[in-house]
C-alpha cells in the first residue's frame, strides 16, 4: 500500500489534532451506534498518541476493550472528480471505521496501515464525520498474542511480552485524493551489474507498477532522477529495468536516494504521478559475512522501542529526530524494530540517513519460559488452545503487511519474522516452517530470520536452519549467571563457539543489564551503572574472539514502559539512555567503542 503523498496529481489532508474520545468499557457503543452522532460524554484526545497515559488514573491506563475516536474534517473543495481515500497509518490493535453513518473498513494488526475508498460517501467542500472504534484486546488469535481474563473486578489483559500494551491511534490519519485512474502499487528491486565494490559500477532498478481504478490498462512512464533532479534513466510500460551508469549507491551512513517518478498517462497527458524513493544497493549473506554492496557490514546499535513519556507509542517528529541524533552521537549504524513495525516516518528517516534496519513483525511472546519470567503461566504454547493455526493466519497477515509496506526501503536489509519464540519443539517447527517460506516468497531479495531465545540453544533449536543469519538474544550475567561475570563470560564463549559451527553470520540482537540511572557501586552490584558497563565490556571481549560475529545490538536504546509485575520497577531499565533520553555511563562507553570502529 503506497503512502499518501502530495504530487502534481495528488493531495492529502492530515487529520492529526484533537479528536473526541470515549472509552467503552462495557462494549455497548457498537450496538448503540455511537458512530451515528457526535460522540457523547467525550473528552479530548490527541492523535497521534497512545491514549493510556494521557489522563491520570488506572482506568484508561489499564482499559481493556473498545475506545471510540471521532473527528470531523472538511473535504477540500478542489477534490471534485477525485478518488478520495481515508487512511489510518495504524490503529492498535483492531479498528472499525465509519465515514458519517457508513462502515468503511475493519482491520486487525496494530502496526500496519489500512485504508478505504470513501469517494461515494463524501462531498468536496462538505464535512465528513470520521469515527473509529479501536480495540486493544490481545488473544491467542492476535499478533502479538495475549490472554484476557474475566475477573469479578473487570477484564484483565495478560500478555507474554515485555513492553506495555499501548493502544489507540499512534500514527497519523489521512484523507487523500488521487485521480480516478491512479498508481496503486510500485515494487522496486535494485542491484548492480558486476562487483558492487568496483568504482563507477552500473546500478539496476527493476520496477513493477500496478495501475488501479477506471483505466487499469493505462500507459505507464517512469523516470529516474538523481538527488539534483537530473534524469539518469527512463522507461515505458508497467514493468521494466532501468540501468544507472556510475550509480551512486545507498550505503550505511549515507542514505543516497534516487527519485523514481511514476506517471500514468492518457495520451500525452499525465493522469497520475507518484514519487517513489529508490536506494540502489545490494544485500547478500555469504558464509559468515553479511554484505551490503559487497562489503562486510557489522551491525552496531540497539533493539529499540517506540516509547515515550505521555504519548506512549504515539509518533512525534521531535522525538524521532532526537532519537536518530542520539543514534548518530553514539556511533550506531543500525537498529532493530523490536518488536513490531515502526512508523513510516521513522522508516523514511532511516532510508534517508543511511541507518540500517532489521525489520520485525509483532510476533513476540510465543514462549512459556519467557512468559513465566514476566509472571504468566502457559502450559503449552504451540497447541490448539494457545498459538494455533489461527494465530498463524494472523502471523502470516502480519508478515504480508510488513513486507508489502516496507519492501522498497533500502534501509531494510533483513526481515525478522518473530522475536524469541520457543524454537526447540516439533510443534514450533511445524508452525514456523510455512512462515519462513511465505516471507521468502514475498521477498526473494532480502535475507530472512527470527530471533532466538536463550531457552532454545544451539543443541536443541529447530528453526535456525530456516534462517539466513543467526540472531540471538543472550542475558548471561543477568537472567543467567546473575551478577557473576566470570561464569557469564565462559557460558557466552561456549555458546558462540557452538553457533559458529553453523557457518552463518551471528548477530547478538540483545544483550544488556537493567540499570538504575545514578546508582553507583564498586563491588559489582547488579542494577548499578558500573555493572552495566562491565557486562557490556565482557560481551565485547567475547565478540572479538569470534569471527562469525556480524553485529551487536544492545538491549535497549532507552528505558521503556512495561506491564506491572514484580520483575520491573517503573518499566524495563536496560536502556543506554533513560526513558527521557539522558545518557547512562554505558552510553559513553558505547560511544567510545562505536565511534572508534566506525
Ligand atoms: C528479551 C526480550 C525483550 C525483553 C528483554 C528483557 O529477551 O526480547 O523484549 O525486554 O529480554 O529485558 O528481559
Question: What is the 538 CA–ligand 1 centroid distance (Å)?
Answer: 19
278-325, pLDDT tens digit by residue? 999 999 999 999 999 999 999 999 999 999 999 999 999 999 999 999
Question: What is the 475 CA–ligand 1 centroid distance (Å)?
Answer: 9
Question: What is the 298 CA–ligand 1 centroid distance (Å)?
Answer: 22
> Ligand 1: which residue has its CA nearest to atom 2?
162
Task: Give a three-class secondary structure readout of 172-216.
Answer: CEEEEEECCEEEEEEEEEEEEECCCCCCCCEEEEEEEEEEEECCC
Per-residue confidence (pLDDT) for residue 377, from 0 to 100: 87
217 CB neighbour count, 10 Å cutoff:
8
143-180, pLDDT tens digit by residue? 999 999 999 999 999 999 999 999 999 999 999 999 99
- The atom number, within ligand 1, closest to the CA of 514 reads 12
Same CATH fold, 333-473 and 11-178? Answer: no
63-97, pLDDT tens digit by residue? 999 999 999 999 999 999 999 999 999 999 999 99
> Ligand 1: which residue has its CA nearest to atom 3?
162
Answer whether 280's CB lies under 8 Å from 190's CB: yes
Question: What is the 491 CA–ligand 1 centroid distance (Å)?
Answer: 19
Answer whether 573's CB lies under 8 Å from 554's CB: no
Catalytic residues: 420, 510
How confident is the model over 585-592, as a mean pLDDT? 98
373 confidence band (pLDDT: 50, 70, 90): confident
- The CATH code of domain 181-283 reads 2.60.40.10
- The atom number, within ligand 1, closest to the CA of 560 reads 10
Per-residue confidence (pLDDT) for residue 136, from 0 to 100: 98
Q: Is it the case that residue 598 has pLDDT exceeding 80?
A: no
Tally of helices (H runs) and strands (E runs) in the chain = 9, 32
Question: What is the 162 CA–ligand 1 centroid distance (Å)?
Answer: 6
376 confidence band (pLDDT: 50, 70, 90): confident
Cβ–ligand 1 contact at 559 (below 6 Å):
no
370 confidence band (pLDDT: 50, 70, 90): confident
Question: What is the 158 CA–ligand 1 centroid distance (Å)?
Answer: 16
State the residue for C-alpha cell 520483575: 567
Cβ–ligand 1 contact at 555 (below 6 Å):
yes
Per-residue confidence (pLDDT) for residue 379, from 0 to 100: 87
Q: Is it the case that residue 504 has pLDDT exceeding 80?
A: yes
Question: What is the 436 CA–ligand 1 centroid distance (Å)?
Answer: 23
- The CATH code of domain 11-178 reads 2.60.120.260
Q: Is it the case that residue 443 has pLDDT exceeding 90?
A: yes
Ligand 1 pocket mutation pick from 555, 556, 563, 567 by most atoms within 8 angstroms of CB: 555
Cβ–ligand 1 contact at 162 (below 6 Å):
yes
- Residue 353 in grid coordinates: 540517513
> Ligand 1: which residue has its CA nearest to atom 13?
162
Cβ–ligand 1 contact at 473 (below 6 Å):
yes
CA distance 359 to 183: 26
Averaged pLDDT score across all residues of the chain: 97
Cβ–ligand 1 contact at 419 (below 6 Å):
yes
414-427, pLDDT tens digit by residue? 999 999 999 999 99
CA distance 386 to 504: 32
Q: Is it the case that residue 239 has pLDDT exceeding 90?
A: yes
CA distance 125 to 13: 13
191 confidence band (pLDDT: 50, 70, 90): very high
DSSP codes joined into one string, 425-479: SHHHHHHHHHHHHHHHHH-TTS-EEEEEPTTS-TTT-SSGGG-SSEEEE--BTTT
Is the domain 480-598 a CATH 1.20.120.80 member?
no
Q: Where are the domains of the chain?
A: 11-178, 181-283, 333-473, 480-598
- The atom number, within ligand 1, closest to the CA of 473 reads 7
Euclidean distance between the first and the last CA atom of the chain, given in angstroms as a whole number: 36
> Ligand 1: which residue has its CA nearest to atom 9?
162
- The CATH code of domain 333-473 reads 3.20.20.80
Note the pTM of the prediction, 2 decimals.
0.98
- The atom number, within ligand 1, closest to the CA of 373 reads 13
Q: Percentage of the chain surpassing pLDDT 70?
A: 100
Cβ–ligand 1 contact at 510 (below 6 Å):
yes
- The atom number, within ligand 1, closest to the CA of 161 reads 9
> 50 pairs with which residues across the strands?
168
Residue 76 per-residue DSSP state = P
CA distance 136 to 91: 9
- The atom number, within ligand 1, closest to the CA of 562 reads 10
Cβ–ligand 1 contact at 574 (below 6 Å):
yes
Amino acid at each position: 500500500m503506497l503512502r499518501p503523498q502530495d504530487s502534481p496529481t495528488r493531495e492529502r489532508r492530515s487529520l492529526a489534532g484533537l479528536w473526541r474520545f470515549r472509552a467503552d468499557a462495557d462494549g455497548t457503543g457498537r450496538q448503540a451506534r455511537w458512530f451515528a452522532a457526535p460522540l457523547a460524554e467525550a473528552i479530548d484526545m490527541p492523535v497521534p498518541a497512545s491514549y493510556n497515559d494521557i489522563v491520570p488514573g488506572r482506568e484508561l491506563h489499564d482499559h481493556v476493550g473498545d475506545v471510540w475516536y471521532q473527528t470531523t474534517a472538511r473535504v477540500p473543495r478542489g477534490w471534485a472528480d477525485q478518488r478520495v481515500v481515508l487512511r489510518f497509518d495504524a490503529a492498535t490493535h483492531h479498528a472499525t471505521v465509519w465515514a458519517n453513518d457508513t462502515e468503511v473498513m475493519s482491520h486487525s494488526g496494530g502496526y500496519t496501515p489500512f485504508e478505504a475508498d470513501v469517494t461515494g460517501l463524501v462531498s468536496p467542500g462538505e464535512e465528513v464525520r470520521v469515527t473509529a472504534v479501536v480495540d486493544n484486546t490481545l488473544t491467542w488469535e492476535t499478533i502479538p498474542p495475549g490472554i484476557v481474563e474475566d475477573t469479578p473486578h473487570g477484564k484483565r489483559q495478560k500478555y507474554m511480552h515485555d513492553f506495555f500494551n499501548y493502544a489507540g491511534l499512534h500514527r497519523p490519519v489521512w484523507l487523500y485524493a488521487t485521480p480516478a485512474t491512479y498508481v496503486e502499487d510500485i515494487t522496486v528491486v535494485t542491484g548492480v551489474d558486476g562487483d558492487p565494490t568496483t568504482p563507477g559500477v552500473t546500478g539496476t532498478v527493476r520496477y513493477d507498477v500496478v495501475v488501479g481504478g477506471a483505466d487499469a490498462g493505462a500507459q505507464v512512464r517512469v523516470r529516474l532522477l538523481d538527488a539534483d533532479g537530473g534524469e539518469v534513466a527512463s522507461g515505458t510500460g508497467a514493468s521494466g529495468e532501468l540501468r544507472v551508469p556510475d550509480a551512486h549507491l545507498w550505503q550505511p551512513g549515507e542514505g543516497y536516494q534516487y527519485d523514481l517518478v511514476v506517471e500514468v498517462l492518457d495520451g500525452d497527458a499525465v493522469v497520475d504521478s507518484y514519487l517513489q524513493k529508490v536506494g540502489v544497493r545490494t544485500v547478500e549473506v555469504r558464509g559468515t559475512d553479511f554484505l551490503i554492496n559487497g562489503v562486510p557490514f557489522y551491525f552496531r546499535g540497539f533493539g529499540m522501542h517506540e516509547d515515550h513519556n505521555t504519548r506512549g507509542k504515539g509518533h512525534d517528529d521531535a522525538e524521532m529526530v532526537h532519537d536518530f541524533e542520539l543514534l548518530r552521537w553514539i556511533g550506531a549504524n543500525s537498529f532493530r524494530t523490536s518488536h513490531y513495525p515502526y512508523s513510516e516516518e521513522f522508516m523514511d528517516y532511516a532510508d534517508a540517513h543511511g541507518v540500517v534496519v532489521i525489520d520485525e513483525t509483532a510476533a513476540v511472546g510465543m514462549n512459556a519460559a519467557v512468559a513465566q519470567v514476566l509472571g504468566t503461566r502457559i502450559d503449552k504454547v504451540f497447541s490448539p488452545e494457545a498459538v494455533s493455526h489461527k494465530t498463524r493466519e494472523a502471523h502470516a497477515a502480519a508478515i504480508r503487511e510488513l513486507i508489502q509496506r516496507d519492501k522498497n526501503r533500502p534501509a531494510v536489509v533483513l526481515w525478522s519474522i518473530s522475536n524469541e519464540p520457543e524454537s526447540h519443539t516439533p510443534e514450533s517447527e511445524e508452525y514456523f516452517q510455512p512462515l519462513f517460506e511465505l516471507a521468502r516468497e514475498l521477498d526473494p531479495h532480502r535475507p530472512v530470520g527470527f530471533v532466538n531465545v536463550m531457552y532454545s540453544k544451539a543443541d536443541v533449536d529447530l528453526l535456525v536452519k530456516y534462517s539466513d543469519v543467526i540472531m540471538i538474544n543472550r542475558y548471561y550475567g543477568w537472567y543467567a549467571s546473575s551478577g557473576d561475570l566470570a561464569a557469564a563470560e565462559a557460558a557466552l564463549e561456549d555458546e558462540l563457539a557452538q553457533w559458529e559451527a553453523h557457518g552463518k553470520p551471528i548477530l547478538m540482537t540483545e544483550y544488556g543489564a537493567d540499570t538504575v540511572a545514578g546508582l553507583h557501586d564498586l563491588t559489582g552490584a547488579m542494577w548499578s551503572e558500573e555493572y552495566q558497563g562491565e557486562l557490556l565490556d565482557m560481551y565485547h571481549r567475547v565478540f572479538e574472539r569470534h569471527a562469525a560475529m556480524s553485529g551487536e545490538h544492545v538491549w535497549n536504546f532507552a528505558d521503556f514502559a512495561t506491564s506491572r509485575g514484580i520483575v520491573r520497577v517503573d518499566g524495563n531499565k536496560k536502556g543506554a539512555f533513560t526513558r527521557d533520553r539522558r545518557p547512562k555511563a554505558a552510553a559513553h562507553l558505547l560511544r567510545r567503542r562505536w565511534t572508534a570502529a566506525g
